[in-house]
Amino acid sequence: MRNIFLHKNFFIGFGGCIVCFILGYAFPPFFLVAKFLIAIFLLLVLVDIWRLYRIRHFITATREVPQLLSLSDGDTVIYQVNNASSNSLEIEFYDEQPSQFQQREAIGLFTIKSGQEQQFNFDIRPYDRGEYHFGAMHLYTTMAPLFLTQRRITIPQEFMCKVIPSIKQMKKHELEVFSKTASLSGIRKIRAVGQNDEFEHIRPYVQGDNIKSINWKATSRANSLMVDHYQDSRQQEVYCILDKGRSMKMPFDGMTLLDYSINSILSLSNIILKKYDYAGLVSFSENIGTTLKATAKKGQLERISSALYNETTTFKESNFELLLHFTRHVLSRRSIWLFYTNFETTHDLNRQLPYLRLMAKRHLVVVILFTNTTLHHTSNMECETKSDIYLKTFAERAMIEKQRIKEELIRNGIQAILTEPKKLSVNVINKYLEIKARRLR
């Protein structure tokens, strides 16, 4: 009986019985009628409970969840309930969803007739990487026509899925970069500067070829004009350097800066490999974390995705000096660094600037900073009180401070991007394409 609960209709009926019982005391001839009604009501309750116990094996439910979910991307869980009993049922549906969703309310309330099935969807959006555990489904069932009691039918269906860096965003950005309508989604088409600089093969001269590219030795052997054909430089090493320190713990719209960076790194690494460059990854905080040597070998994108899945932030300050000494020995070849970090004040920058300058002497370093969108909204608000004035002034000063940090990096020969978290991937991809187009090394 522990799975039996009283429906709201029970209290309505029971209240009517109490009224009849009170009237029975006031009007003795009505007392027998009141006792008879109470007995009938209790009998109906027992019948309703008995009928509910009979249908346990006639009710089934299933849940369909993708094996892999993408971080910050919406997805759908599909539920299906079948009623093989001979009665119409009213069902209040609860699901033991992962604790990360904090879902405690009913996700479905419907009536299902005999021999029919009910299918409905529930939208989810994960904001944390890791394992998500689904538990049992609970169906609080009430049977027509009495609707006096409820029975909880529990259907065990434990399931675990993983939330990984966003594959959906990665594929979306790939389509945007290589489509003719890329500009509509924010991806800039940047005209390449100068000549192609990597030799590919020798071919016959055709009208319009640059005469400076004529290969005279090949021409003499073939007895016809032959030219050297060049292509865009390939096989550059591009590293995503991920800061996992406390500055990356800051949340925006449900996700930390680290999670935004992880989604961006996966999208960018895919573009790097599609552009025939080498993609690598280094993460650090107080210690060196993941190190993946830049390569274009098969499975590199999967290795980067697996490494990013396990990255977490710490509350300790990142050790830029350790990163400098480590990379001097491990990353000796000049490469492009896309450095995901964040500085809130010029004081924070000045402590790390000497190390960044030394890194920039050996590599092409692009430091990626985040702008606080909340401060932007606050700086544009209408002031009505003194507190509003203080808040607006503070927000404006903080935004100016961020701009100064970017300018200071550029002044020291370090390229920088200042971007909103939601526009991170597009802005970083644009920067990489700009570096490729201008043949910066």
d(Cα 54, Cα 151) in Å, to the nearest integer?
11
Same domain, 278 and 355: yes
Shared-domain flag, residues 159 and 255: no
Q: pLDDT, tens digit, for every residue of 249-306?
A: 988 888 999 999 999 999 999 999 998 899 999 999 999 999 999 999 999 999 999 9
The dihedral sign for the CA sequence 325, 327, 332, 335: negative
* Co-location of 209 and 353 in the same domain: no
pLDDT value, residue 193: 44
Same domain membership, residue 405 and residue 270: yes
Angle formed at CA 237 by CA 231 and CA 243, multiple of 5 degrees: 145
Q: Do 251 and 132 lie in a common domain?
A: no
Both 220 and 295 in one domain: the answer is no
> For a pLDDT cut of 70, what percent of the chain falls above it?
93
User: In this structure, are 325 and 335 located in the same domain?
Assistant: yes
- Residue 32 and residue 175 share a domain: no
Same domain, 44 and 90: yes
- The average pLDDT across 175-193 equals 61
Report the mean per-residue pLDDT for the chain.
86
Q: Please give the share of the chain, as a percent, with pLDDT higher than 90.
A: 50
Taking residue 406's Cβ as centre, other Cβ atoms within 10 Å add up to 19
CATH of the domain at 419: 3.40.50.410
Task: Indicate whether 259 and 353 sit together in one domain.
Answer: yes
**What is the Cα–Cα distance from 52 to 69, expressed in whole angstroms?**
37
Alpha carbons 360 and 367: distance in angstroms, whole number: 10
pLDDT at 397: 87
Give the full edge-to-edge strand order of the sheet including 75-83: 59-64, 75-83, 117-124
Listed in sequence order, the residues at least 6 apart from 179 whose beta carbon sits closer than 8 Å to its beta carbon are: none
Residue 410's contacts (CB-CB under 8 Å, 6 or more residues apart) are 416
Asked if 118 and 171 sit in the same domain, the reply is: no
Q: Are residues 127 and 214 in the same domain?
A: no
Which of 183, 213, 231 is where one domain is finished? 231
pLDDT digits (tens, 9 = 90+) for 393-413: 888 888 889 999 999 999 999
Contact between residue 121 and residue 76 where contact means Cβ atoms under 8 Å apart: yes
- Interacting residues of 13 by C-beta distance below 8 A, sequence separation 6+: 41, 44, 148
Q: Give the whole-angstrom CA distance, residue 124 versus residue 161.
A: 13
Query: What is the pLDDT at residue 49?
Result: 86
Provide mean pLDDT across the span 1-30.
Answer: 77
Q: How many domains does the chain have?
A: 3
Residue where one domain finishes, among candidates 231, 249, 278: 231
pLDDT of residue 279: 96
Range of the domain at 137: 1-164
CA distance 114 to 87: 5
pLDDT-based confidence at residue 377 (cuts at 50, 70, 90)? confident
Q: Name 76's bridge partners.
A: 123
Residue keyed to tokens 């909103």: 420
Q: Is 410 helix (H, G, I), strand (E, B) or coil?
A: helix
324-355 residue pLDDT tens: 999 988 888 889 999 999 998 999 999 999 99
Phi/psi of residue 5, nearest 5 degrees: -130, 155
pLDDT reported for residue 112: 92
The pTM (predicted TM-score) of the whole model is 0.79
Task: Please enumerate in sequence order all residues whose Cβ is within 8 A of that of 20, keeping only pairs 6 or more positions apart, or say none.
Answer: 30, 33, 34, 37, 38
